[in-house]
Structures are given as structure tokens and as C-alpha cells.
Structure 1
Amino acid sequence: MPSRSERSAAPHVDRRGFLAAAGAVGATTGLALALGSSAPAFAGRMAPGTTGGGTGDPVPSAAPQAAEAGAAEAAPTGEGTTLVSVATPRGSGGYRRLGDGPGWPRVVRTDLADARDGRERRRTTIASFVQFTDLHLTDVQHPLRYEFFRAGGEGAWRPHEALTLPGVVSLVERVNKLRRGPATGSPLKFVITTGDNGDENAKIEAEWFLTALSGGRMDPNTGDPHRYEGVQNSGLKLYWHPDSSLRDQDKALGYPRIDGYLAAAMRRVNSPGLNIPWYSTFGNHDLLSGGCYPAAGSFIADVAVGGKKLYTVSAEEAKWLMDGEGRGVDPKGKRIEELLRKHKKELRGITPDARRVPLTQRQYVAMHLERRFTGRGPVGHGYTKENLDSGRLYYSFRVSDRVVGISLDTTDPGGHYQGSLGTAQLDWLDRTLRAHQHDYALVFSHHPSWSMDNFTPDPDRPDEKRHGGDEVIALLQRHPNVLAWINGHSHRNRIRPRGTFWEIATASHVDYPQLARVIEITDNRDGTISLYTTLVESAAPHRTDYHDLSQTGLASLYRELAFNAPGKDGSLVGDAKDRNTELLLRR
């Protein structure tokens, strides 16, 4: 079980506390208007790519998939993965350039089962897919971006976050080029995201996410279509000003001047879309303002589409806000409301944009069901009309002929960035695992077990008990068909044995090291199962050319700027045992 020291909800202010930001519920719209708001009013068998909805009933039947047969596999290769090469810093000093470096080896982990000789010759692949997590596609001109938290700590703002769209497209391009699993050579069947697909719960960010994975054009320039309106041309030394000679605090650390950067960052971005089906999982940033506070239908919704923005506060105020967020003592965002009232006269005018409106759970599902976002499917990307009608964002789906997938919603609608499950969902999870007792099961969620200690009541179900990570682990251990619980949120590579299954947490694609994870599962035909995990970077070159402001060049720069972000946590990459692995299980 995770110790208290492992949990990211520590009472001191940490990077997660800096980056999860604020909002309010129940505040009057009078404040929003005062701030310049202009709001618009045994299971059966099923083919991969088909969902079982949210009912907990057995997934319907379909013929076994020929692509799972050994004949469909090719010679495995680590090309295009971190097995072969990893972005590696060059030189020394404050700001460091990146280049090609040696890959990371695969570590065989026998915590839960012995590795038997000859298993490579006997094994049969039963699943092969990719996990994306914590993409954090960000509207950097949003009125409720909390860049001012940086006054309380340099790690509270990302200098590179204007490049999230080129970054995610380059990740899509990597998967499209990869095609097969590096351990088995089996075709990759699908991608699943494990939450925080956007950053601020804004409709425009959800649209970018759906377009990036399904294919199409995205315009990152919200507000005024002719100019950037954010902190990076504000004249405040607190932030990196790439197009200016201003000696800001990031340039003092070696950050470069790159003329034309902001104009390039605001250009339209084109995505080919994934060439395989993909599924969606809900994260706290997909519902809560800044990942922390209820937004839709609140005071926050009015401010979000309004025309005023707070750019800076004192260090003391920033630390006070982050303390409330980090300790979970302000789940409704009363402190941010107080701060906006206090600094009303210091707010700067920006162009309102109705597309920044926050979404409810049902609205989020409805966008997934729009045909224009189907891409390679399935329609809804896991969500169905039942999810739309009920507002429940959990479902089951067919991973392969022998494996069922279960996508959970661990976000607490009551607020705070840590997670939990309501009783109804916990019971549904138990029923679904029992219904699929003759299938192997993979559980997907945004929050890992050690970040599920938030018991704030759900406003729509105030009497329903909330359940934490230890209870979820105990439930999964009662079902011997569970192979793994796969999640994100912590922005950290971490793999833990949980007695009868593995818990696999993967780093984000916004903070360095910006990784996704390929997962391949084999039946070794010797009483054991192997789960192969292999990390992949985006397709962008490791080396950045400051004169190359093309979409690919920006994706390279995204990685390099993230590596050099002041206050970054260098431990997010994890140890060797958390990266490229073979995880053994008895079965």
C-alpha cells in the first residue's frame, strides 16, 4: 500500500499544487460582471473498437480477431522508442540543449512471478496498445490561467505551454509511424488517454483534444484573432518574453530570445489524427477550473468567457493560494474569488471568447459523440448515449478477444485535484469485473492509487460516500483476472506491484520527459503473463533549431523548453524499473 510520503497531496506546496489552479462555486455573477465578463448566454466477445457502454453488463460477443494471431506479428524492433535513443542534454550550465542519447534498457521485474526460460518462444500476444496521459492542451490566453502562481515559486508556470498543440501532434505522428509493439511486433490496436486531455476545462481545449487525435486543423489563437494577449508579452519580468529584449527571469537563466516565437505559436496546427482507434478517460483538468475547482454554471464560467485577466500578485498571496489548493482546504475556490475582488483595478483587458466556456460532464461526452470527431473510431471514443443520458463517465470496452478494458472516472466533482470514486461507481466496477471473470481485465483511470484521498462530497450526490485508492486496490485484488491498473495524474513514471496485479503510472506529455507508453501483454504459456511497457517520445527531432519555427520545429522546441523549465522536478522520469520493463504475473 502507498505510504503517506508517496502521496502528492502533501501539506507543503509542491509542483502539482502550483499547477492546479483556482475557481469558485456559488459565487454571485455580480463579481463576474464587475470584472468585465461578457458571457454568452465471462464475458462475451466483442471486436476491438466497440464499447460495452456503462451498464456493467457483459461485453457483447464477436468473433476472435485474426490480427491477434502470431502470423500477424512481425520481428520486434525498438526503433522509434526509448529503447534505442532518448533526448539527452548537451554541455553544462543553466539552459542546456538536447541531442540524441543512448536508450534505456528493458528491466525484467519478477516481484510477482518468476521469469521462466524460453517464454519468448512460447508466448502469444493478447493485447497491444498505447497510453497517452496528461496532454494538458492549453489556451494560454484564457482569463483564468493562473500564471501569477509563479510569484510564489518558479515552478508554478511552464514557459513552454504555448506549444502544447504542436507537441501533441508530434506524439500522434510517433504512434502513426510506430505501428507495431517493440517487444512483440504485434500491431498496435488502439490508443487510450488517461485524462487531463485539456488544462482549464474550456470548450476550445476539448475541441483541440478531439481534433488532434481524430484529425483536422486547430487554431490556438483564442480571443483577438490578430494578436497574442497573454503573459509572454506583458512586460512583466516574471515570465519569459521570447520575442523581446526584456531581461526577464527566464532569460537570466539562459532561456533564448526567439524572434517570431509568439506568432508561430499562435499559427494554425494541422493533425493527421491517429491511424488506429482511440479511447478517452476523464481527468480533473477536464472538469475543474485549473484542475481544482468546479467551474460550469458558476462564477468561474462568467469570468472564463469575459474580458479581464489578472497577470500578477505578490509572492505572499500566491503562496496563500497554493497552500489552499495543495492542502485541499479550499475546494470551492473562495480564495481565488477573494483575490480577484481585491485586485479588480489591476486586471488587464483582453478579448472575450465564448469558446472558453467550461463544460459539464454531459457536454464533454456530447462533444465526443459528434461525428466530426470520430476519426478512426469508435464513435464516442468509449462514451455512448447511455453515458450522455446518465452523466456517468465510466464504461467498459473490448481490448482484444481475451481482454476487457474498464475506464473509470476518478475526478471528484466537488473540487480539489486529488481523486476518489463514489459508491455507485465502485459497485459498478465490482459488478463489471465479476461479469468478465473469464476475461483478463485492464483498469484505466486518471488518478493513481496514491492520489485518491479526496472525499469532498459530489454536489449532485451529497449523501454518497467517496472511496480512496486503498479501497480500489483491495477491490481489484479480489478479482484475479485483473492484470493492471494504468493511470497518470502524477506526471511521473512509477510502476508498483500490487500483490495480484501491477499499477502502472506514466509521465505527462506537458512536463519533461514528455512520454507516452506502449503496453504489450503476452500469455507465456507457462503459467505466467508478461506486460511489456515501453516509453516513446514524440516524433520531433531531439535537436532544436531556433530558426525553424515550423510545426515540427516548434514540437522540438516544446521538448527542450520543458527540459529547461525552472523548478522542474527531475525525478518525474522515474527509475529504470519504472520505464521500459517486462512485468511478470502468475496466471
Structure 2
Amino acid sequence: MPAMTRRAFVGGVSATAAGAALSLAGGTFASAAARDRALAATAARAVRVEGTTLEQAAAPTGGSGYQRLAAGPGWPLVVRGELAGPQAGRDDRRTALTGFVQFTDLHLMDTESPFRFEYLARWNGSAHRPQETLTVRGASSLVERVNSLSAGPYTGKPLDLVMTTGDNTDNHEQIELDWYLKVLSGGRITPNSGDPTRYEGVQNSGSSAYWNPEISFLDDYKAKGFPQVPGFLGAAGRPFDAPGLNVPWYSTVGNHDDSLEGTLPDLGLLDALYTGRHKLEGCDDADAAKIMEALRRDPAGAAVLLGRLFADGNFVREITPDERRRPFNLKEFAKAHLDPAVTGPGPHGHGFTADAVASGKLYYTFRIADGVLGISLDTTNQAGFADGSIGTAQLRWLEQTLQAHSGHWYDTDGHTVRGGQGNDLIVIFSHHTSTTMGNLVLDPRNIFEKRHDGNELVALLQRYPNVVAWVNGHTHENRITPHGHAVPERAFWEINTASHVDFPQHARIIEIADNRDGTISLFTTLIESAAPYATDFNDTSDAGLAALYRELSFNDLYGHPTAKLGDPVDHNTELLLTKPNA
């Protein structure tokens, strides 16, 4: 459907018809005609839909096996009034407050690193993905999409910033961090480690367990219809110029930025494997099961078992060592953002300061727009495991910050308290969601500090009416959850967005507007990268590789594209809230 402004659509759809189309339960449609009416109503309310999933979205074209993608119909806007009722005429009264973009779970990946567990893919799909050599180009194509958007689709306000909500790198390697910073700030990137002239990873191993794209050998992937793509690996690792974002950007830390493979505590036991010359490319099923169990319960035991497998020599490949694969810690993560070479459109440090580097406290506040405050949390736990939590000191800091920027709030007994110096709308950012913050193992950064889960965080946020949204990632799924049905003033929306490594490879525009009727609206609009939908297996240009990145992710043998996609109520939405102090 072509882009269409509200003005161009005046007279085409009545306000009553638009409201009916947009209120269809769950955003599901009994017919294509009903969908088209909803799309027309969506376009009537938007300033523009071009470049978003309001206009079109990737859709499979085949019935089974390896499927190609094409441009499918757009996804209409779904109005969600669980927390406040939509009032007629709000489009004409609305005042834009801010618009920003969320990136999450980019997982920029050094696929040639010795410290990877590709041979566990059958047990854990994130251990190996057929598209993983293209993460850097795919992320750069997402940047291109953001740069092509002049403003938010519903308010028409220029975008204020981009926030990445963690798992910016896959295995907290220095080279992955360098790629991430250059993708967002711009610069020349060579997405290859070790020997820059060749690929040294599992995808030219000749093992049937992996997609070997450049050879005709019938591996498990080609048996399912995956193509042979001549020159694929060489093209994936060649240098290219990343344009970088044209708006300011900020970083939030995730568990993959913090620990080995996002799960193992970084005790220094395995650092030598990162920069060494030997890569384990496989093992038998019995050893794989032992490693999986050790990764879950006994990190030290996993180190011992891996050491034995390397010593045995089976499935071990000699590769070019690279010191740039050295793991970074969180202080180094923050410090890298302070390098003037990666400031790009700003701000300097992208949320982190010299004090953060010195203290290791990677939570901070920042100004999203006039009257809108952002709070970025660190929900990682260096004790290991994928899920998160926060410590008591951070929880107290968060409460103090909320009080300083709220005109009033509620104490734990439900009594109103007044006295904050500010009165901002507040958006919380973190990597983990409310349901994935159950990791209460004591963090080695402070073994005497209690850890707090997502339920405690939700309860705290509900005491502060100025909190309108909690934006996060980690699950690799689209999911929007209302909190606080019982008391409208104590309600907020939790907005969880899919990753950009697994299909559907989304990012999300979030716009906040004052409806001037006692409510505010949060518009959430999913976007895809700038890559074309159609692929050509003979096209290894930058655009062609970015297109393959999307298509391969849809066909990942161990991926779950439909599960991660979410429902229509988790896609393009208008989320209503009672305006604080209304």
C-alpha cells in the first residue's frame, strides 16, 4: 500500500469507520477486505506510513521448506484502551512530546571466535544461526532505515534519538564492541577477525551440522532447501562503510555484553580460548549434553570439560589468533563509548560518563525531550545465567530519581506524597523484562547486596504516576503488556521488542503525545531494515547480503519466527494512558 498522509485521505474514510476498523479485537480480520479497511483507516490517522510496517512487512511466499520473502500487506494500527479509554477527536487535539527508536538485541557477532558453541545449536538455537556472519551488515541496514525516516508516523515530530536496549554484542569481545560503536556512529568496518583475507569458521568446515554456503556438499541445511551462494563468506567479511545514525543515540547494557555467551560468569578461566589459535567445531552428542548441563549449573566444570575436548584434538581446527577477541568488562564497555571517534551525532559517551567508568555503575538518566526523562537501568548479573535482576543500591537510586522528577507519588501504604522538584513523563529502559528478572544469585560485584526481581520493579514503578513506559528486549519477541489496570493513575505500559538477529528483525518507533483530553497516547510502530525483501543468490552486494540476512533468519532450522513475531496487539499500536496530574 503506498504511503498516504491524513490530508490526502480526508473524505475517503469517515471518523466512525476509522474508529471501527482500528478497534477490531486483537487486530485480526475476518477478510482481506476488513484488513484493507483497517489499513486505510490507519493511513488516514498517520502523517505518513512509508518505511514502516504500517506500509508493508516481510511475508513468506512458499508453503514449506526453505521459503523466500516478499513485501506483504502492512499491519494496521491497533488501539489498546485497557488502561484508559480513547476519546473521539484526539487526532486533531494532539500535541507531540517526543519520538524515538528502540534497537535491541543486535548481537553483533564474531563468528570466527574460538569461544563459541555452534555445535550446541540442536539444544540451544542461539548457539549457531545460518545468518550470523551478516549481523554487522544487517544492523547497518537498520541504521539506514532510521536515517530514511524524517519523523514519527503519527505525530510528524522529528525523531529525538535511538536507544539500544542491550545485547549489542554477542560474546562481549572487544572486536564486537568496536563493530557496534562504528555501526551506530559510522565508519569503515571489516566484519572479519583473525586472517582478514579468509573466513575461518564453521560455515566452511564441511560438517553437515552447519550451512556451508559456498560448496555443493549436501549439509543438513541444504537438505532443507538452503541455497548454495558462491562467494558468500568472502563477501560477508569484506570491508564496507557504515553510514552511522543521523540522530543522537544511547546504550543500555545486556547480559551478552557482560558475560561469556551471555550466560557464563567471566571468571577469567577461559580468556585464553578467546585469543588462541584453536577452535572447537564439534563434539559427540554425549559431550554436547554434558556441556549444556555444565553451562546451566557448573561454569567451572564447563571450563574443565572444554579444556579436555580441546586437548583431545577431535573437531579442533587451527585458526589465526586475534587479540581483538579479548573479552571486555563493563567498565571497558562504558569507557569505549567515551572515545571521541565514536561520538557521531552525540551525545559524547552516549549516556556513560567518566564517573560510570570509575564506579562501574552503568545506570543513568538522560533527557529524551522537554518534559520527558529517560532512565537506563543495568539489569545484568555477573554471577552468570541469562536472566537479570538489580541490586539494592540501584533500586534506591531509581526510587530517588523517580521522586526527584515526579510531582507526587504513592508510598507503600498507598498514601499520596508530594514534593518532587520536577514533573516529567518518565520512560524506563532496560535489557531484561519484568518476567526475566528472576536471577537473584548474589552478584560478584557486591556479594553482600540483595538482588531484586521484576515483580519488585513493577511494584515500585506503579507508585509513580509519571512513569508511562518500560521499554526492554532480551526475549527476542514482540510483546506489549499493560500494568496497573485497577488504578489508572498507577498504570504504565511495558513494551518489549523483538531482536535484530532473529526473525522478524524488528526495531520500534515510540511516539508520545498529549491528547489534551486527560489522556496521553504512546504509538508503537515496528520497522524493518532498509534491505529489499527479494533476494538473489548471485547478488553479494551490501544490499543483497542485508536481504539474505533477513531471509536466512526466517529459515533458521532452530529459530522460531512465528513465535517471536508476537500478535497484532504487540505490533503497531496506540497505547492509551491517563495523563499524570490530569
| TM-score category of the 2 structures, normalised to the smaller one | 0.7 to 0.9
Kindly indicate whether the alpha-carbon contact (under 8 Å) linking 1:151 and 1:313 is maintained by their aligned counterparts in 2.
Answer: no
Aligned identity (percent) is 53
Question: Aligned-residue CA RMSD in angstroms?
Answer: 1.4
* Aligned equivalents of 2:297, 2:204: Cα separation in 1: 34
CA distance in 2, matches of 1:153, 1:375: 36
The one-character-per-residue Cα deviations of 1:112-166 (angstroms, maximum 9, x if unpaired) are 0000101111111111000000000000000111101125466742011000011
Q: Is the Cα contact below 8 Å between 2:387 and 2:437 reproduced in 1?
A: yes
**How far apart are the structure 1 equivalents of 2:174 and 2:534?**
34
For residue 408 of structure 1, the aligned residue among 377, 381, 398 is: 377
Residue 491 (structure 1) aligns with: 476
Tell me the distance in 2 between the aligned counterparts of 1:137 and 1:178: 23
Partner of 2:33: none
Tell me: CA distance 1:319–1:76, structure 2 relative to 1, closer, same or farther (3 Å).
Answer: farther
Q: Deviations over 1:70-94 (max 9, x none)?
A: xxxx971010000010011112220
1:344 aligns with 2:311: yes
- 1:70 — aligned with what? none
CA distances 1:381-438 after superposition (whole Å, capped 9, x unpaired): 0001111111111100001111100000001011111000011111111111111111
Q: State the alpha-carbon separation in 1 of the partners of residues 347 and 79 from structure 2.
A: 34
Deviation at 1:329, TM superposition (A): 2.5
Match among 208, 213, 233 for residue 237 of structure 1: 208
* Contact preservation (8 Å) 2:389, 2:438: yes
Q: Aligned partners of 2:58, 2:66: CA distance in 1, in Å? A: 15
| Residue 324 (structure 1) shift | 4.5
Counterparts of 2:126 and 2:516 in 1: how far apart (Å)? Answer: 48
- Corresponding residue of 2:511: 520
Match of 1:580 among 565, 568, 572: 572
Counterpart for residue 217 of structure 1: 188
Q: Give the deviation of 1:350 after TM superposition.
A: 1.1
Secondary structure at 2:247's aligned position in 1?
A: coil
Contact 2:77 2:573 in 1 (8 A): yes
Displacement over 4 Å in runs of 4+? 153-156
Q: CA deviation at 1:98?
A: 0.6
Cα deviation, 1:477-519, whole Å, max 9, x if unaligned, reads 1111100000000000000001110000000000000000000
Partner residue in 2 for 1:397: 366
**1:473-552, aligned counterparts within 5 Å?**
473-499=458-484, 500-552=491-543
Q: Quote the residue 2:297 is aligned against.
A: 329
Aligned residue in 2 for 1:571: 563
* Partners of 2:342 and 2:71 in 1: CA distance: 35
Rate the CA distance shift 1:339–1:78 in 2: closer, same or farther, 3 A: same
1:227 partner amino acid = R
Deviation at 1:204, TM superposition (A): 0.5
SS at match of 1:571: helix
Q: Confirm or deny that 1:374 pairs with 2:343.
A: yes
* Distance in 2 (alpha carbons) for counterparts of 1:324 and 1:76: 53
After TM superposition, the structure 1 = structure 2 runs for residues 111-510 of structure 1, keeping only pairs within 5 Å, are: 111-152=82-123, 156-295=127-266, 298-325=268-295, 328-330=296-298, 332-346=299-313, 347-437=316-406, 438-499=423-484, 500-510=491-501
Q: Which has the higher contact order (CA 8 A, sep 6+)?
A: 1
Matches within 5 A, 1:50-129: 76-129=47-100
Summarize deviations over 1:215-264 as a string: whole Å, max 9, x none.
00111111112221100111111000000111100000000000100100
Per the alignment, residue 44 of structure 1 pairs with none
Q: Deviations over 1:42-96 (max 9, x none)?
A: xxxxxxxxxxxxxxxxxxxxxxxxxxxxxxxx97101000001001111222001
CA deviation profile, 1:250-302 (whole Å, cap 9, x unmatched): 0000000001001001101211110000000000000111011123x602222
Larger radius of gyration: 2
Q: Give the letter aligned to residue 184 of structure 1.
A: T
Secondary structure in 1 matching 2:252: coil
Paired with 1:83 and 1:324, the residues of 2 have a C-alpha distance of 45
Distance 2:105 2:185 in 1: 17
Letter in 2 for 1:463: F
| Stretches of structure 2 lacking an aligned partner (at least 5 in a row) | 1-44, 407-422, 485-490
Normalising by structure 1, we get a TM-score of: 0.85
**SS of the residue 1:121 aligns to:** helix
Residues of 2 paired with 1:79 and 1:108: CA distance?
A: 20
Identify if the C-alpha distance between structure 1 residues 271 and 235 changes in structure 2 by more than 3 Å, giving closer, same or farther: same
The aligned amino acid for 2:434 is S
Task: Tell me if the contact between 2:174 and 2:326 (Cα under 8 Å) persists in the aligned partners.
Answer: yes
Is the CA contact 1:477–1:501 (under 8 Å) kept in the aligned structure 2? yes
In structure 2, relative to structure 1, the CA distance for the partners of 1:214 and 1:154 (3 Å cut) is: closer
Q: Which amino acid aligns with 1:461?
A: N
Give the 3 Å change call, closer, same or farther, for CA 152–317 of structure 1 in structure 2. farther
Q: Would the aligned equivalents of 2:274 and 2:326 in 1 still touch at CA under 8 Å?
A: yes
Whether contact under 8 Å (1:512, 1:562) holds in the other structure is yes
Query: Using the alignment, how far apart are the partners of 1:337 and 1:586 within structure 2?
Result: 56
Residue pair 1:128, 1:186 contacting (<8 A) in 2 also: yes
1:560 alignment partner, SS class: helix
Matched residue, 1:19:
none
1:315 Cα deviation from its structure 2 partner: 2.3
Deviation at 1:303, TM superposition (A): 1.3
Aligned partners of 1:211 and 1:271 also within 8 Å = yes
Note the C-alpha offset of 1:457: 1.4
1:558 to 543, 549, 552: 549
TM-score normalised by the chain length of structure 2: 0.86
- Paired residue total: 510
- SS of equivalent to 1:162: helix
CA distance in structure 2 between the aligned counterparts of 1:160 and 1:343, rounded to whole angstroms: 26
- Cα pair distance change 1:154/1:382, threshold 3 Å: closer
User: What is the deviation of 1:308?
Assistant: 1.1
Does structure 1 retain, via aligned residues, the 8 Å contact 2:270–2:303? no
Does structure 2 retain, via aligned residues, the 8 Å contact 1:151–1:315? no
State the distance in 1 between where 2:540 and 2:127 align. Answer: 26
Q: Determine the C-alpha separation between the residues in 2 that align with 1:486 and 1:287.
A: 20
Distance 2:436 2:425 in 1: 25
Say which is worse superposed, 300-309 or 482-491, in terms of deviation. Answer: 300-309
Q: C-alpha separation between the residues in 2 aligned to 1:334 and 1:96?
A: 41
* Contact in 2 for aligned 1:151/1:312 (Cα 8 Å): no
Structure 1 stretches lacking a partner, 5+ long: 1-73
Shift of residue 184, structure 1, vs aligned partner: 1.3
For residue 441 of structure 1, give the secondary structure of its aligned residue in structure 2: strand
| Residue in structure 2 matched with residue 56 of structure 1 by the alignment | none
